[in-house]
Amino acid sequence: MDYPHPIIAREGWLFIALALAAALLSSFFDWISLPFWLIFLFCVQFFRDPGRRIAGGPKSVLSPADGRIVVIEETEDPYLKQPAIKVSVFMNVFNVHSNRSPIACVVRQKWYNPGAFLNAALDKASLENERCALRLETTDGRNITCVQIAGLIARRILNYAENGVSLAAGERYGFIRFGSRVDLYLPRDSQVKVVIGEKVSAASTIVAELS
């Protein structure tokens, strides 16, 4: 799972190359080149992938994505069928879209569900949109569920983690293209450290502490 951070995510190289080629070709026709150059610049900013400072300690749950906190609630984990605290991070098209492990863990289960492409900011997106979930077992045997959810524009969830793989806290494990959401289902006794509306950064923001 080692990933060299080349500033631009490898998932975007093809898109950026195609956008650049279209922009260069369109430059022969001055009157139509501007939109293609804007598309190229959008692709470069969307697929940026900077390295991150890993925050916290062994019981810290880190944000798995850049974005804004849109949900904090007590609910049932729909995958493990147990009480949980749900924390959701919404990513707009201007956020970095690499996804990172929220804690040092081993991947114990993986679920993929095809679905709709509703606005990822809506609560029902958690259960109706295309999504990929991981059951993460921490070093002290706690379970956290981390769910990548496609959005209104996002049409491709990339998840490289497989059962039995160990992930370090903040390690990159996936990517979602063009606007999306990540849900965390935490043990009910977790101490949440963020509030609704707060902007968070993947691996660098502590969203909760395990007891």
Same domain, 165 and 84: yes
Q: Is 63 a catalytic residue?
A: no
The first and second tokens of residue 8, run together, are 């631009």
Amino acid at 207: V
CB 91 within 8 Å of CB 196:
no
Same domain, 39 and 80: no
Instruction: Give the contacts of 53 (CB within 8 A, at least 6 positions apart).
Output: 203, 204
Q: Is the pLDDT of residue 159 over 90?
A: yes
Catalytic residue among 26, 63, 88, 180: 180
Same domain, 31 and 82: no
pLDDT value of position 11? 86
Same domain, 203 and 124: yes
For residue range 8-58, what is the model confidence (pLDDT) as tens digits?
A: 888 889 999 999 999 999 988 777 888 899 999 998 988 899 888 999 999
- The dihedral region occupied by 26, where left means phi > 0, alpha psi between -120 and 50, and beta the remainder, is alpha
Considering its fold, how many domains does the chain have in total?
Answer: 2
For residue range 70-108, what is the model confidence (pLDDT) as tens digits?
A: 999 999 999 999 999 999 999 988 898 899 999 999 999
In a domain, 40, yes or no: yes
Same domain, 24 and 103: no
In a domain, 2, yes or no: no
Same domain, 112 and 24: no
CB 152 within 8 Å of CB 119:
yes
Residue numbers of the domain that contains 77: 60-209
Same domain, 44 and 148: no
In the numeric block, the tokens 């798995």 are attached to 64
Same domain, 113 and 182: yes
pLDDT value of position 198? 97
Any idea which of 10-14, 53-57, 155-159, 206-210 has the lowest mean pLDDT? 155-159
CA distances from 186 to 145, 183, 210 (A): 7, 10, 8
What is the pLDDT confidence band of residue 185, given thresholds at 50, 70 and 90?
A: very high
Interatomic CA distance for residues 40 and 24, integer angstroms = 10
3-state secondary structure of 125: helix
In a domain, 23, yes or no: yes
